């Protein structure tokens, strides 16, 4: 006989894919977290119950405590709790529960890690690294320029088709998390790099299939996410050492440089495709010198106003 708990978990996992359009990667993370909770719950109750109705706040707190005892970081335990909150919220909505046992349980504090960011000078150097006398080099340069010019995600760039790029208006249409689409402007430098690459590839305004991928390999197939990531990392490592360098570094640099130039945080949020402002607020921590300068210039008791 199937475990009723497992049936509810599988129903939830199907729900987040079909109804919420979550990615397979997110589903796997939820599945792993809920599996760990199920194993804990069976041990916690001594297999006396197979009913999630018996779960209460104390059960949840003991589970989180056991995860800390097992050596997991506060970041991992916070994710476990987030998975449980989503799961029990679903059960409440599906009328499988009368109350949500995760309500009132605070998320463990996690250390804030600031993203790697390239300076504008390093960005300019980076763009000169791909060779301009090979098609693969022109492709890599167009990729780097588009990443930095738009701040889009790796998956968003990899799935771009030519029909998603509006060269005359300097706009691209991307499909982000949850299949949400957004329109993003890009600059003239990125436009020139893209046009140069496509022209050398044989795409002209008279012979162009708008369904064709923007970035392709020598076999005329779409460049894979892993290939794009590997190429970008190779160039970034020529300028800076670090394990966490990749396409996201250009995304972080894009956002930080916009904020440093005075861009509104809500506008940056929309450009990045963040669902909440809290995800964008990390970039406000990356510009203390600029903030001090603004304070000194604008505040009545700032240093520039003192005699």
Which residues are designated catalytic?
Answer: 153, 177, 248, 251, 274, 283
User: If you search the block for the tokens 């209460």, which residue do you land on?
Assistant: 56
User: 262's torsion region: left (phi>0), alpha (psi -120 to 50) or beta?
Assistant: left
User: If you search the block for the tokens 């998603």, which residue do you land on?
Assistant: 164
Q: Please state, as a whole number, how many other Cβ atoms lie within 10 Å of the Cβ of residue 234.
A: 13
Spatial separation of the C-alpha atoms in residues 288 and 295, rounded to whole Å: 10
**Cβ-Cβ contacts under 8 Å for 282 (sequence gap 6 or more):** 112, 114, 115
Spatial separation of the C-alpha atoms in residues 242 and 110, rounded to whole Å: 22
């Amino acid at each position: 006989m199937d475990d009723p708990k497992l049936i509810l978990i599988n129903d939830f996992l199907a729900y987040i894919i079909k109804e919420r359009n979550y990615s397979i990667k997110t589903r796997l993370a939820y599945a792993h977290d809920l599996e760990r909770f199920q194993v804990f719950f069976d041990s916690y109750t001594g297999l006396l119950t197979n009913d999630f109705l018996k779960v209460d706040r104390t059960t949840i707190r003991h589970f989180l405590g056991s995860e800390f005892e097992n050596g997991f970081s506060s970041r991992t335990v916070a994710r476990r709790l987030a998975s449980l909150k989503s799961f029990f919220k679903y059960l409440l909505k599906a009328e499988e529960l009368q109350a949500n046992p995760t309500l009132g349980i605070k998320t463990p504090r996690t250390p804030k890690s600031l993203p790697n960011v390239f300076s504008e000078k390093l960005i300019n150097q980076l763009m000169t690294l791909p060779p301009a006398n090979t098609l693969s080099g022109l492709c890599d340069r167009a990729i780097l320029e588009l990443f930095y010019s738009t701040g889009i995600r790796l998956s968003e760039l990899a799935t771009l088709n030519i029909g998603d790029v509006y060269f005359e208006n300097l706009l691209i249409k991307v499909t982000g998390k949850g299949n949400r689409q957004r329109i993003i402007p890009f600059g003239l430098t990125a436009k020139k790099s893209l046009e140069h690459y496509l022209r050398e590839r044989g795409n002209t305004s008279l012979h162009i299939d708008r369904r064709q991928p923007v970035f392709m390999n020598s076999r005329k197939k779409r460049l894979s996410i892993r290939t794009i990531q590997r190429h970008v990392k190779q160039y970034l490592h020529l300028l800076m050492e670090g394990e966490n360098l990749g396409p996201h570094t250009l995304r972080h640099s894009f956002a930080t440089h916009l904020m440093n130039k005075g861009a509104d945080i809500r506008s940056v949020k929309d450009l990045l495709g963040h669902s909440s402002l809290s995800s964008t607020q990390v970039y406000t921590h990356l510009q203390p010198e600029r903030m001090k300068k603004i304070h000194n210039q604008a505040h009545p008791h700032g240093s520039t106003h003192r005699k």
